Amino acid sequence: NSFCTLLARATPLFSPHVTPNFRQEATNEEMADAPCAGCGKPMGYGDYEVANDKEYHVECFVCYFCRKPFPNGEFFMHNDHPCHNKCIDTNAHKPVEKKKDFCAECGNEIPENYEFLAIKDPKDDKVKRMYHPQCVMCAECGKQIGDKKYGISHGKAVHEECLHAKQTYKGEATNEFSEDL
């Protein structure tokens, strides 16, 4: 649309994207092993977001500056990162100081460049809770999620193999895992 084109020409530091991202479902092994553009971990199976030709876990598709989601689907790319327009206006010319994250389970800080799990809050799917990998247990088998592939079922983390075992036991794939990371 012409508004987006004009805005992109007027502000060359970022290119606007108004609801161009779309949710897809990863169903093949190649996509499951591809890295998320947000966290770098394998995509796994289930839903994911596509923006600017990059795939993100649904929970990882958040503003680079404030780490909040895009509730109306509007985002802008700034230095190859999705951002809110107001966050770009506020932060674009400042050195990036990321907000500190704390583990929702143990309460300790999640250091910068430390791997973490971002899981939607079952009470509010716009809120993502951050966890140390060792603090998240599989809702099916009770073991640590760690660095294994996992999905989300009813707001709880489930190992990929437990997810497949549960689906096989039921005799069919269900949509209850549509929030998989």
pLDDT in tens, 123-143: 666 667 777 878 888 888 999
CATH code of 22-89, in short, is: 2.10.110.10
Of 137, 149, 159, nearest to 35 (Cα)? 149
Amino acid 130 reads: M
In degrees and rounded to multiples of 5, residue 165 shows phi and psi of -65, -40
Q: Residues 47, 23: contact at Cβ < 8 Å?
A: yes
Residue-range domain boundaries for the chain: 22-89, 117-165
Maximum average pLDDT range among 68-82, 87-101, 165-179: 68-82
Tokens of 151: 């999905």
The pTM of this model reads: 0.44
